[in-house]
């Protein structure tokens, strides 16, 4: 039998979810999300379960996201319906976490990206460390920041949300604390002890247990970059104007790594993905319900995976690894309003649940 990549235990009335696919940085398969949702629904209705801890079996990564390579292979071999099922399963897990009704604590050591951020950000307690590397990198593969990112990135200052969602910029634990993407920071070497203490406490003791372990996050690195971020991404501007601002700033600040990242991202990432997330953030103030956010993500994902950009993006980044995707359209200016309107058209699409 194949090795299970996710484990479930009940210890002293606490549920423990262990992500155990270390070689793949705990990338979520359809089997993993299906099992996780089933167990969470059972624990939700079980009065003997007081709270849940989600952790990784290895400190290198909490979860690097959904297994998008598996989804691509499914599309090529079996068509789109089964791939739709993968995204539906992932979003239903996010919904089950958000609506669990009991404390869920995510221990986010190491990589927390894409679908991993979806697991963490809908928990009641999001614990990060000095090793945390948080990002939403989906524009590099012709997808978009999904899993409810319109809500959790939408709560960030708009220029920062644009930076993170449109360019996949990586931030760290202290940045996440500043942005409300983490509730506490704990030293990486203390995570195992924290997990054990959380499994030995009652729900009413969770906050105090975390206080006993938490560390000073220090000064967020983003603080230093905020003038540049605001200059590029601030105001009522289009992605094309943001790209022009970044290119102009690169001439003045040739050694600025953030500016260089943004210039490269706008030049190399999927133009449709970048503009889709820009539009999604424009709508975010009106998306206050997690069910509505994930339903929209589901419909957008169904549309996006049917575009050639998704197959091509995953090929370039994860299969052939040439990092030279051929996008269509291949420039931001060619992604017009009609194309975006068609992607956001939900008429006739199935509900998430």
* Whether residue 89 lies in the annotated active site: no
**Active site annotation includes 66:** yes
Identify the active-site residue in 15, 35, 65, 66.
66
Rama region for 114: left / alpha / beta (φ>0; ψ in -120 to 50; rest): left
Secondary structure, 3-state, the chain: CCCCCEEEEEECCEEEEEECCHHHCCCECHHHHHHHHHHHHHHHCCCCCCEEEEEECCCCEEECCECHHHHHHHHHHHCHHHHHHHHHHHHHHHHHHHCCCCCEEEEECCEEECHHHHHHHCCCEEEECCCCEEECCHHHHCCCCCCCHHHHCCCCCHHHHHHHHHHCCCECHHHHHHHCCCCEEECHHHHHHHHHHHHCCCHHHHHHHHHHHECCCCCCHHHHHHHHHHHHHCCCCCHHHHHHHHHHHHHHCCCCHHHHHHHHHHHHCCHHHHHHHHHHHHHHHHCCCHHHHHHHHHHHHHHHHCCHHHHHHHHHHHHCCCCCCCCCCCCHHHCCHHHHHHHCCCCCCCCCC
Q: How many Å apart are CA 165 and CA 258, to the nearest integer?
A: 14
Q: How far is CA 229 from the centre of its chain?
A: 20
Catalytic annotation on 115? Answer: yes
Active site residue 205: no
> Among the options 35, 84, 90, 138, which is catalytic?
138
Catalytic residue among 146, 175, 297, 312: 146
- Selected catalytic residue, list 65, 89, 110, 115: 115
Return the sign of the alpha-carbon dihedral for residues 328, 86, 341, 231.
negative
Known catalytic residues? Answer: 66, 115, 138, 146
């Amino acid at each position: 039998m194949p090795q299970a990549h996710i484990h479930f235990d009940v210890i002293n009335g606490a549920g423990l979810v262990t992500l155990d696919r270390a070689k793949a940085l705990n990338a979520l398969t359809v089997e993993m999300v299906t099992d996780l949702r089933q167990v969470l629904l059972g624990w939700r209705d079980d009065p003997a379960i007081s709270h849940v801890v989600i952790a990784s079996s290895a400190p290198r990564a909490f979860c690097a996201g959904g297994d998008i390579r598996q989804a691509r292979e499914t599309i090529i071999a079996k068509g789109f319906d089964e791939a739709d099922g993968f995204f539906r399963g992932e979003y239903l897990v996010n919904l089950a976490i958000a609506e669990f009704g009991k404390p869920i604590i995510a221990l986010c050591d190491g990589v927390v990206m894409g679908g991993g951020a979806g697991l963490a950000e809908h928990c009641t307690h999001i614990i990060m460390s000095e090793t945390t590397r948080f990002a939403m990198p989906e524009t590099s593969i012709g997808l978009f920041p999904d899993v409810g990112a319109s809500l959790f990135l939408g709560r960030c200052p708009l220029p920062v949300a644009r930076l993170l969602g449109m360019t996949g910029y990586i931030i760290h634990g202290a940045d996440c604390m500043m942005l409300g993407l983490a509730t506490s920071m704990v030293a990486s070497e203390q995570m195992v002890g924290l997990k054990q203490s959380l499994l030995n406490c009652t729900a009413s003791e969770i906050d105090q247990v975390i206080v006993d372990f938490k560390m000073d996050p220090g000064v967020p690195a983003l603080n230093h970059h905020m003038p540049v971020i605001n200059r590029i991404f601030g105001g009522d501007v289009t992605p094309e104007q943001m790209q022009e601002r970044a290119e102009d700033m690169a001439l003045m600040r040739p050694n600025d790594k953030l500016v260089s990242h943004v210039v490269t991202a706008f030049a190399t990432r999927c133009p449709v993905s970048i503009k889709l997330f820009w539009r999604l953030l424009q709508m975010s103030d009106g998306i206050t319900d997690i069910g509505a956010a994930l339903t929209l993500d589901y419909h957008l994902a169904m549309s996006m995976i049917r575009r050639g950009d998704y197959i091509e993006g995953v090929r370039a980044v994860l299969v052939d690894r040439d990092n030279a995707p051929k996008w269509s359209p291949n420039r931001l200016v060619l992604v017009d309003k009609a194309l975006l309107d068609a992607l956001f058209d939900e008429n006739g699409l199935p509900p998430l649940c």
